[in-house]
Structure 1
Amino acid sequence: MKLDNFVCGQWRAGQGEGVALVDPMDGETLVRVGTDGIDCAAALEHARSVGGTALRALTHAQRAQRLAAIAEVLGAHRDAYFDISLRNSGATPADAGFDVDGAIFTLKTYARLGRSLGDTRGLVDGAVVPLSKEGNFVARHFLTPQKGAAIFINAFNFPAWGLWEKAAPALLAGMPVVLKPATPTAWLAQRMVADVVAAGILPEGALSILCGSARDLLDHVNESDVVSFTGSADTARHIRSHARVLAGSVRVNIEADSVNAAVLGPDAVSASAEFELAVKEVVREMTIKAGQKCTAIRRVFVPEAQTAALEAALVERLGRITVGDPRQEGVRMGPLVNRAQQAAALAGIERLKAECVVVFGGDPDFAPEGVDPARAAFVQPTVLRCEHPARARVVHEVEVFGPVVTIVPYADEAALGRMLRLGQGSLVASVYSSDGVFVHALVDEVGDLHGRMMLVDATVGAAHTGHGNVMPTCLHGGPGRAGGGEELGGLRALGLYLRRHVVQGSPERLASLASACADAALLAA
């Protein structure tokens, strides 16, 4: 079976054989995708002129209602999405829920937030600015949706959530979406789009999908478009430097590589609540989706005196994790998405060994439960320890996109801050400590290089949302090597798709314009 693309209001097959999407448990071909012969220029223009025009005619409340309807449709097909996640991504039920249920929750959140904007179409930003002594000539700032397309080039690890966490604010802002999901796991995104299209929820042109190569898509972007990319820093640089992006000063939002960290404070000694919470979270981040999360923990900083205790705790817990075919009872961790990712992860482990020793796992020949290792794409959960932290560089530069963490002992708080900053910008760091002086100093030292910091002590042990969980009401993104972009954060996410401009004129004329707008202060509420 070959999956169609949905462009210009029609389902269209790409020419040729296409690219195979495989089952990572046995390498068998499931479906094929391809975009050869698809007119990307026409697809973008249809989205802009047809989809965008129709979306902007709706109020914020009407757009929010459509997001709620999408969530209902996705919920009705949840079992089918879990099946595709299992077959195409090797996802356990917990993995599939993280992706699929996360997408539905995000849509519901933006539907609720969107209703708060009411029956308005634009936003007014700030108070009236007087420009004449008589008061008969004034100015006011407005935010209006860009009249282009929101182009999403997404990563393979979250085909469901990655689509809807971007699409929800874009559609609510009034911009049509053109989705290019990562090819290896495009099946789930394509099925979701197909279900939404079949339900007739969105205006024609508001949602399109290209399954396969992006081909010449970026050759046709213009000054009104937005490009949002999640993936490698190398591809991000290519997108940012594309001739059409530069010529049109096209807005680009990037989420790229991130060597995220967990930090045990000096007070997080063995058997303390904070120590146990850290161990639990590190194991969870290693095993959920087999560590294939942009927010997963890659470095674990621990006081030198607690290194052995942390190693022993992680080894004991990971030794109880059954890795194998998620169809088998008791399996807690599945494969990587394909053998190319497996090879990249194993190569990354070898690079880390230049500065580290293996504490647990790391066996390229280990045998997962219920599969043929020669055909499957598994990587054993692996813990390494950095041998000479003061001189290390590779552990702060190499992100192994799989179930791999490196323990980095630190001698004092100065050394900790210096090493955290060697990550050059991360999506998230979590800190496990009840020492307020330590925590406050660390946030002050490294907060500028992290999009999110999660502070965990015994008082929030049962309440915190998780190191790797991205909440739709909180910022997602990070500076430096993490891409420098921002997503989510509640209604703040609409800002990517809106353009601020100032209008000057009579008080009466500007009051008339503002009467159809919501207050932009709500975006930061």
Structure 2
Amino acid sequence: MDLLKNHVGGQWIAGHGDGIALRDAVLGNEVARVSSAGIDLPAAYRYARETGGAALRALTHAQRARLLADVAAVLQQNRDAYYDISMQNSGTVRNDSAVDIDGGLYTLNYYAKAGAALGQHSARTDGDAVSLAKDKAFQSQHVMVPTRGLALLINAFNFPSWGFLEKAAPAWLAGVPLVVKPATATAWLTHQMVKDILDAKVLPEGALSIVCGSSDGLLDPLSPFDVVSFTGSAATASVLRRHAAFADRSVRLNAETDSLNSAILGPDAAPGTEAFDALVREVVREMTVKSGQKCTAIRRILVPQAWYDETAQAIAAKLAKTTVGNPRNESVRMGSLVGRAQYDTVQAGLRELGGVCDTLFDGSGVSLVDADPAVAACVAPHLFGTRDADATDLVHDLEVFGPVATLMPYRDAAHANDLARRGHGSLVTSLYSADTAYLGATALDLADSHGRVHVITPDVAKVQTGHGNVMPQSLHGGPGRAGGGEELGGLRALGLYQRRAAIQASPDVVAALFPAQASDASSPPADRN
């Protein structure tokens, strides 16, 4: 099987040794191999900073935005091939592949359009100039400039396309070169996208590198002006934070990690109401899309005590209709986990939750479609429940990263909010009610412990973007165990890759920082190859 090469220092280089096997998530056969052994990472990082960084900083925001549009066009041309790779290596049905692939393209195009409006400067202001003297003869202007380092993107296995592109788009727009380290298990899709981009020569030399395989030594060559954007487990993030790159050299780290997200049914949303039905639909969707392998998936379902049984029955009835198995079969609505290692991890989590909770829907009895249960990484949905959420600590501490959620009752609105906060910081919570006063108060009450509060009333049920869908216009991240990081949120995302400084000077000098330019924002960069 082919060994996927790394692209560093402006060239494709094969890692040493036999490498690590990537497998079809359902059939189990090997689809590719990766190795990063023997790669000269210090030299690779210097090339990215000195060659790619210099080229990107020489461009205006509008010109960098053109690069994003060009990259999006290249990826769009190869979209069908990405769907095939996703089906094999990630075990996803077509709709789930779209969340990853088309979601990544949407994000890239969003930043291309947003960046075009930033105009013909390579840096930008942060607020208005303020006076430091009574006669306004001396002022302070805050500016945002590209960091003179690289952005190391360490991505998770569940989104090999979107996870790459949602970080890449704001980094390139900010003027910073990338070194991409995809999760090994699903690196094939990211690698193919990077190869297509590089083959098309739409980026400056050094603006994009990729390292596939082991992460050994990945952090050692980082310098103080580099940035690391990490998505993965809280345990791995904890290890990263102790590395000398962050502890001693103050490399900037953005982390997005585990999250026990919640969905809350409002006190007014009785069975039969539109809000009740909306929660049931959203829970089932979040449990089954990408086989529950989303950092934003609903893990805890909080409902009024009186409606615990009806909610359990409604969710279980919908889960029973979900066909699970080989995504090559058109009747299958939910594919597999990304591999047998993840399968084993989820099975262990199911045993733990099953030991302290009631089983409200047992997916172990579901027959797989065109898939061998001894080989395929398929796990059918499981719904657990506990009637005493206060005493069952495990449901607030353990995230089973698969098609798994736990139902629990609450006494009143304050109790529900307390339970939601038991996740110790989450990426998202969603609220379902027709009571706008309740929703407004609850949204603000939970905003301190959640990166996003997703509020569903009957009037937005058909247009809302989804509890687990991360939109580039809105913040993605969360406090506490969710990592304490921030991504996206429109142009706020550029702040991770740019440095803020205060320029203190006369009004004439402040005005000279960003002189008016007559050049057309649509004009192409002078030399992108």
TMscore range, shorter length: over 0.9
Partner of 1:381: 381
Partner of 1:25: 26
Distance 1:118 1:137 in 2: 27
Distance 1:70 1:18 in 2: 29
What letter matches 2:276 in structure 1?
F
Partner of 1:153: 154
Partner of 1:396: 396
Partner of 1:339: 340
Q: Does 1:474 align with 2:474?
A: yes
SS in 1 for 2:124: strand
Partner of 1:190: 191
Partner of 2:323: 322
Distance 2:457 2:442 in 1: 15
- Where does 1:22-61 land on structure 2 (aligned, <5 Å)? 22-61=23-62
Distance 1:509 1:56 in 2: 22
Distance 2:197 2:444 in 1: 45
CA deviation vs aligned residue, 1:74-116 (integer Å, no higher than 9, x gap) = 1110100000000100110001101000011001000000001
TM-score by length of 1: 0.96
Deviating beyond 4 angstroms after TM superposition, the runs of 4 or more aligned structure 1 residues are 132-136
Distance 1:169 1:207 in 2: 14
SS in 2 for 1:408: strand
Distance 2:140 2:279 in 1: 53
CA deviation vs aligned residue, 1:313-358 (integer Å, no higher than 9, x gap) = 1111111111010111210000100111111111111111232111
Residue 414 of structure 1 deviates from its aligned partner by 2.5
Partner of 1:429: 429
Distance 1:443 1:500 in 2: 31
- Where does 1:342-381 land on structure 2 (aligned, <5 Å)? 342-363=343-364, 366-381=366-381
Residue 132 of structure 1 deviates from its aligned partner by 4.5
Residue 371 of structure 1 deviates from its aligned partner by 1.1
Provide closer, same or farther for how the CA distance between residues 247 and 373 of structure 1 changes in structure 2, counting only shifts above 3 A. same
Distance 2:224 2:272 in 1: 56
Partner of 1:522: none
Distance 2:345 2:249 in 1: 35
CA deviation vs aligned residue, 1:232-290 (integer Å, no higher than 9, x gap) = 00110111111122212111000000000111111111111111111111111111100
CA deviation vs aligned residue, 1:20-66 (integer Å, no higher than 9, x gap) = 00011121111000100101111111110000000000111110011
SS in 1 for 2:4: coil
- Where does 1:72-221 land on structure 2 (aligned, <5 Å)? 72-132=73-133, 135-221=136-222
Provide closer, same or farther for how the CA distance between residues 132 and 197 of structure 1 changes in structure 2, counting only shifts above 3 A. same
Residue 362 of structure 1 deviates from its aligned partner by 4.2
What letter matches 1:420 in structure 2?
A
SS in 1 for 2:104: helix
Distance 1:33 1:297 in 2: 33
- Where does 1:271-286 land on structure 2 (aligned, <5 Å)? 271-286=272-287
SS in 2 for 1:208: strand
Q: Does the Cα contact within 8 Å between 2:184 and 2:212 map onto a contact in 1?
A: yes
Q: Does 1:490 align with 2:496?
A: no
What letter matches 2:123 in structure 1?
G
Residue 506 of structure 1 deviates from its aligned partner by 3.1
SS in 2 for 1:299: strand
Distance 2:134 2:481 in 1: 49
Residue 135 of structure 1 deviates from its aligned partner by 4.9
Partner of 1:11: 12
Structure 2 segments unaligned to the other structure (5+ residues)? 518-529
Deviating more after overlay: 127-136 vs 440-449:
127-136
Residue 166 of structure 1 deviates from its aligned partner by 0.3
Deviating more after overlay: 259-268 vs 436-445:
436-445
Partner of 2:242: 241
Residue 438 of structure 1 deviates from its aligned partner by 2.2
Distance 2:145 2:345 in 1: 43
Residue 139 of structure 1 deviates from its aligned partner by 2.9
Residue 504 of structure 1 deviates from its aligned partner by 2.5
Distance 1:174 1:388 in 2: 51
- Where does 1:246-265 land on structure 2 (aligned, <5 Å)? 246-265=247-266
Q: Does 1:62 align with 2:54?
A: no
Residue 509 of structure 1 deviates from its aligned partner by 2.4
Provide closer, same or farther for how the CA distance between residues 222 and 317 of structure 1 changes in structure 2, counting only shifts above 3 A. same
Q: Percent identity?
A: 52
Residue 136 of structure 1 deviates from its aligned partner by 4.3
Distance 1:437 1:510 in 2: 46
Q: Does the Cα contact within 8 Å between 1:156 and 1:185 map onto a contact in 2?
A: yes
Residue correspondences, number: 516
Q: Does the Cα contact within 8 Å between 1:355 and 1:387 map onto a contact in 2?
A: no
Deviating more after overlay: 498-507 vs 296-305:
498-507
Residue 129 of structure 1 deviates from its aligned partner by 3.4
Provide closer, same or farther for how the CA distance between residues 504 and 437 of structure 1 changes in structure 2, counting only shifts above 3 A. closer
Residue 181 of structure 1 deviates from its aligned partner by 0.4
Q: Does the Cα contact within 8 Å between 1:60 and 1:120 map onto a contact in 2?
A: yes
Distance 1:251 1:299 in 2: 32
Distance 1:415 1:25 in 2: 42
Q: Does the Cα contact within 8 Å between 2:288 and 2:381 map onto a contact in 1?
A: yes
Deviating more after overlay: 345-354 vs 199-208:
345-354
Q: Does the Cα contact within 8 Å between 1:265 and 1:302 map onto a contact in 2?
A: yes
What letter matches 1:389 in structure 2?
A
What letter matches 2:444 in structure 1?
D
Deviating more after overlay: 169-178 vs 405-414:
405-414
Residue 131 of structure 1 deviates from its aligned partner by 3.7
Q: Does the Cα contact within 8 Å between 2:49 and 2:150 map onto a contact in 1?
A: yes
TM-score by length of 2: 0.95
Provide closer, same or farther for how the CA distance between residues 331 and 135 of structure 1 changes in structure 2, counting only shifts above 3 A. closer
Q: Does 1:417 align with 2:417?
A: yes
Distance 1:130 1:490 in 2: 29
Q: Does the Cα contact within 8 Å between 2:121 and 2:514 map onto a contact in 1?
A: no
Residue 305 of structure 1 deviates from its aligned partner by 1.0
Q: Does the Cα contact within 8 Å between 1:120 and 1:516 map onto a contact in 2?
A: no
Distance 1:78 1:9 in 2: 25
Q: Does the Cα contact within 8 Å between 1:218 and 1:245 map onto a contact in 2?
A: no
What letter matches 1:478 in structure 2?
G
What letter matches 1:337 in structure 2?
V
Provide closer, same or farther for how the CA distance between residues 45 and 266 of structure 1 changes in structure 2, counting only shifts above 3 A. same
Provide closer, same or farther for how the CA distance between residues 231 and 516 of structure 1 changes in structure 2, counting only shifts above 3 A. farther
Q: Does the Cα contact within 8 Å between 1:122 and 1:516 map onto a contact in 2?
A: no
Distance 2:363 2:386 in 1: 15
Partner of 2:527: none
